[in-house]
Copies of this chain bind each other. A is one copy, B any other.
Amino acid sequence: MATSLIAAKGNGGTSHRPHPGQPRDGLAWPAGLGITVNARPGQTIVIEGDPIDHFYRILSGTVRLYKSIADGRRQVIDFLNEGDVFGLTGLDRQPCSVEAISSVTLIRYPRRSIEAAIEMQPELAGPLFELACAELRRAQRHMLLLGRKTAEERIASFLLELARGSDGGLRRTLRLPMSRLDIADHLGLTIETVSRTFTRFRRTGLIELHGRHDVRLSRIDRLRALAEGEIADAA
């Protein structure tokens, strides 16, 4: 079988062992087959269109997954963090490029070893299928955002998405490791619009900005109302 997982959010994110070949997320990866790789901020890990040889799991740091067009326009598909996986798409070439945003440590598995493992133990495919479906649901929500939401609604949705912890809870403070350009390219906006919207949210008391990369969500209720497209009334 040729597997083809592209990218998926793990539902945990606290496996700090150097080579966690043990089960996690119900996924029993072959132990000892992966090697640890480091990437500096901005470094390219995977290039869209390249043949696929490896499969990656992020141990620490953040990467951006994106597609781009000839003239340089870019759509950031997703940001992946510790515990997330990407890069296994059997039949095709890489559908997305991947670059490190912060310093990143990841484990690289040979593609063949993963495919072989699944061939040996077909029950491995179940959790993989779950991951792919979860990622698909995220993608569908993002399509609604890109196709039909206003700039303010996009930023509010983005902040709430980031605030959603691995346990399902909602953090009130969060860190944005990515640049304004990354955010803009993720939300289908420009850096100026992202910046202006952050400022407006700050002025209206929806958020606090501490430095460029730390946000506190002061009014989660109103952010959620905005994200869902309800009319924003005075408060």
Q: Pick the contact of A188: B70, B74, B125, B146 (CB < 8 A).
A: B146
Q: CB-CB < 8 A to A74: which residues of B?
A: 148
| Contacts A5-B129, A133-B4, A147-B146; A229 near B140 (Cβ below 8 A) | no
Q: CB-CB < 8 A to A142: which residues of B?
A: 143
Q: CB-CB < 8 A to A128: which residues of B?
A: 125, 129
Contact of A71 with B by CB under 8 A: yes
A9, B44: Cα distance in complex, Å = 32
Q: CB-CB < 8 A to A197: which residues of B?
A: none
| Contacts A5-B129, A143-B75, A188-B147; A137 near B95 (Cβ below 8 A) | yes
Distance (Å) between the CB of A3 and the closest chain B CB?
A: 6
Question: Would you call A144 and B75 a contact (CB within 8 A)?
Answer: yes
Question: Would you call B144 and A143 a contact (CB within 8 A)?
Answer: no
Contact of A208 with B by CB under 8 A: no
A126, B119: Cα distance in complex, Å = 9
Question: Would you call A126 and B118 a contact (CB within 8 A)?
Answer: yes
Contact of A89 with B by CB under 8 A: yes
Q: Pick the contact of A148: B1, B73, B144, B229 (CB < 8 A).
A: B73
Closest to A127 in B: B1
Contact of A187 with B by CB under 8 A: yes
Q: CB-CB < 8 A to A6: which residues of B?
A: 133, 136-137, 140
26 contacts between A and B (CB under 8 A): A1-B126, A3-B126, A5-B129, A6-B133, A6-B136, A6-B137, A67-B144, A74-B148, A75-B148, A89-B133, A95-B140, A96-B140, A122-B123, A122-B126, A125-B126, A125-B128, A132-B132, A132-B133, A132-B136, A135-B136, A136-B136, A139-B140, A142-B143, A143-B146, A146-B146, A147-B186
User: Taking beta carbons and an 8 Å cutoff, which residues of A are in contact with B?
Assistant: 1-6, 67, 69-71, 73-75, 77, 89-90, 92, 95-96, 118, 122-123, 125-126, 128-130, 132-137, 139-144, 146-149, 185-188, 228-231
